[in-house]
Amino acid sequence: MANSAAGRLYVVATPIGNLGDFSPRAGDTLRTCSLIAAEDTRHTGTLLRHFGIATPTVSLHDHNERQRSPELIARMQAGESIALVSDAGTPAISDPGYELVGAAAAAGIEIVAIPGPCAALAAVSIAALPTDRFCFEGFLPARAAARRARLESLGAEVRTLVFYESPHRIVDALEDCRDSLGPERRAAVARELTKLHESLYRGSLAELCVRSRLDADFARGEIVIVIAGRPPAPPQQGCAELDRVLGLLLAELPLKQAARLAAQLLGVRDNEAYKSALRLKQESGSS
Ligand code: SAM
């Protein structure tokens, strides 16, 4: 239950490049709250000056968020309303904010979203890849071994994948995506969204890797990678392959174990593998 005497925490999205995306409601909120907690006060200062907003700011970044949150919570409990912004886009999305939002929720302070730009959502909305289900993976690990391990763990993911990536690593990251997820996977690379040099590259991972090596612009600016999830196996081929693998496993293992192993090997559902295993057992028993 929110404490009605307390102020609120407003989580305010700001432009990811184009100042025209700053919403009137974001402006009103930043103008009328008592304090703005900003990832970088100098960066946010430029935005505030542009819109003639004179509200004081305080810094809240990855390295001081935990220490600073209690003081901000105390001010909201005393009745002040505070706005949280990051350098660009939606706070707490690969940006500081999670600690403060968590502490405010625990203290029963009302938290209000002032939604707006978010690079991940902007990229998904124009990638022309399935949008009914997608998963946001933030930044891939910078080190190659950890990055490949993360991608391998996502190999069977059927939802569309969304990553933030730095321009310095885009070529290596795309090549790791191709090697771990398969060269045919459809993907899109969105660069500099909402800015002057906005561009969107679509193609298979193999095609995007070639392009990333040929086109110097590819590795400039801010980047979101969107990759289609694992395509479903063609039904006929899937069945035949499942039967073949089960046939081999059933010769060596009990039915349940063979079914579970086949499901893991082929990425099919346990009960699908179990039903096929039963059918094969029955067929071989009746012959
Ligand atoms: N909170 C932000 C949001 O809502 O999008 C994301 C902050 S994260 C620290 C910064 C990353 O977001 C960049 O490295 C890039 O991957 C992505 N990004 C931010 N602005 C972008 C833009 N205009 N075009 C493409 N990607 C962008």
Q: Residues 65-69: what's their mean pLDDT?
A: 95
pLDDT digits (tens, 9 = 90+) for 244-280: 999 999 999 999 999 999 988 888 888 999 999 999 9
Query: How far is the first Cα of the chain from the last one, in angstroms, to the nearest whole number?
Result: 67
Average pLDDT over residues 79-105: 98
pTM, rounded to two decimals: 0.83
Q: Is the CB of 17 under 6 A from ligand 1?
A: yes
In the predicted structure, residue 70 carries a pLDDT above the cut 50:
yes
Mean of the per-residue pLDDT values of the chain: 94
Question: Taken in order 95, 96, 98, 104, is the CA torsion positive or negative?
Answer: negative
Q: Is the pLDDT of residue 2 over 70?
A: no
pLDDT per residue as tens digits for the range 195-246? 999 999 999 999 999 999 999 999 999 999 999 999 987 666 558 889 999 9
pLDDT score recorded for residue 251 = 93
pLDDT at 1: 55
19 C-alpha vs ligand 1 centroid, how far in Å?
15
What does the longest C-alpha to C-alpha distance in the chain come to? 85
Residue 265: phi and psi, rounded to 5, are -65, -40
d(CA 85, CA 135): 23
Ligand 1 centroid from CA 198, angstroms: 13
Question: In this structure, are residues 152 and 49 in contact, taking their beta carbons and an 8 Å threshold?
Answer: no
Does residue 140 line the site of ligand 1, with CB under 6 A?
Answer: no
287 pLDDT higher than 50: no
Q: 163, 129 in Cβ contact below 8 A?
A: no
> Best of 166, 217, 224 to mutate for ligand 1, by most ligand atoms within 8 A of CB?
224
Q: How far is the CA of 267 from the centre of ligand 1 (A)?
A: 33
Share of the chain above pLDDT 90, in %: 87
For residue 263, report the distance from its CA to the centre of ligand 1, in Å: 38
97 lines ligand 1 (CB under 6 A): no
Q: Is 164 in the pocket of ligand 1 (CB under 6 A)?
A: yes
In the reported structure, the alpha carbon of residue 221 is separated from the centroid of ligand 1 by a whole-number distance in angstroms of 10
Residue 281, pLDDT score: 87
* Ligand 1 touching residue 14 (CB < 6 A): no
Q: Can you give the pLDDT at residue 3?
A: 59
pLDDT of residue 283: 83
How far, in Å, CA of 196 to CA of 174, rounded?
A: 24
Closest by CA to 36, choosing from 103, 78, 97, 94, is: 97
